[in-house]
Amino acid sequence: MRTTSEAPVAEPQSVKRAAEAANGSAGRAGSPDRPELGRGAVDIGHLAHSFGELEVIERLKLRVEPGEVLGIVGPSGCGKSTFLELVSGLREPTSGEVAVDGDARPPARLKSCAYMPQRDLLLPWLAAIDNAAIALRNRGASRAHARRDAHPLFERFGLAGFERTRPAELSGGMRQRIAFLRTLLAGKPVLLLDEPFASLDAITRAEMQEWLAGALAAASRTVLLVSHDVEEALYLSDRVIVLSPRPARAAAELSAPAPRARPRLEAVTAPGFTTARERALEALLEGAR
């Protein structure tokens, strides 16, 4: 997927579908003030997917427990974003099964998943608070009601004072925070985060990783986080799956070396973290051979 903030003249269908999922316009469920949260377990059984003759994913089998944050790392083009689309119900696998809370039907998966794509996909004509609350509006809430529900999160996530600001006036990090708030306010038990900080500079990215660690600790949702960055995945996740080059297979599985939401500098400089990072990088190199 594209990572720039400029919209192309004609969006690919996959990006359009991702925009619908990101903005809460698919799989609407629950009342505006009391979304229906399930447990959020994700089961992948012998998953394989191809685009014509191109085999993208093969023999993936795993379970994500309710409330777990699973990191997914792998080389470019190995099928990580496709994997999230399969989980969300935006695509159907060529073979195998994907189920959320035991239901493999695409509409049921889409109803349970909120997808945050690489691009923030904020609507430029809406204020920040209206972008964050768009899923609430799509479920029938009035603008006043949606703003009232979204407003407390702006202060909690360091955005107080920017509620009426348009996206063009916000920094990249702030836009990504609003995109995450929009994902959270969709009220789904499973959050699918597709390289949420790929377009940010290194300093802002490190700051946003620490911010997201705290946000995920408070969210109590099941999270699948795709990243090219091994360090980011280990820091933000409970467990990390390392994928091989296309067609993607699970090359390694690592437990996070420390509890989530620790200060980032403390976490990434700890000896156990360094060891886990080396193991993940070795798995990536082995998978590429």
Which H or E run includes 240?
Answer: strand 239-243
As a residue count, the chain comes to 289
The pLDDT value recorded for residue 235 is: 93
Residue 97: HSE in the Cβ half-sphere, 13 Å Cα cutoff: 11
Hey, what domains does the chain have and what are their CATH numbers?
13-288 (3.40.50.300)
The model's pLDDT over 186-230, given as tens digits with 9 standing for 90+, comes to: 989 999 999 988 888 888 889 889 988 888 888 889 999 999 899
pLDDT for residue 118? 83
CB atoms near residue 118 (< 10 Å): 21
What does the pLDDT read at residue 7? Answer: 31
> Please, which pLDDT band fits residue 27 given cuts at 50, 70 and 90?
very low
CA distances (Å), origin 199, targets 111, 119, 167, 203: 28, 8, 15, 12
pTM, two decimal places: 0.83
Identify which has the larger pLDDT, 157 or 34.
157
Q: What is the tens place of the pLDDT at every residue in 110-163? A: 999 999 988 889 999 999 999 999 989 988 999 999 999 999 989 888 899 999
Q: Are 217 and 261 in contact (CB under 8 A)?
A: yes
- pLDDT exceeds 60 at position 34: no
Average pLDDT of the chain is 84
- Each residue's pLDDT tens digit, 50-92: 998 899 998 899 999 999 999 999 888 888 999 999 999 999 9
Alpha-carbon gap, residue 153 to 129, rounded angstroms? 10
State residue 13 phi and psi, 5-degree precision. Answer: -60, -35
Among 62, 32, 36, 33, CA closest to 47: 62
Tokens matching residue 34: 């009391």
The mean per-residue pLDDT over the stretch 5-24 comes to 43
| Beta-carbon contacts of residue 163 (< 8 Å; ≥ 6 apart) | 127, 128, 129, 147, 151, 154
Nearest alpha-carbon partner for 62 in 19, 88, 98:
98
Of 136, 119, 94, 142, residue with least CA distance to 16: 119
pLDDT of residue 198: 85
pLDDT at 2: 33
pLDDT at 251 over 70: yes
Rg over alpha carbons for the chain, rounded to the nearest Å, is: 18
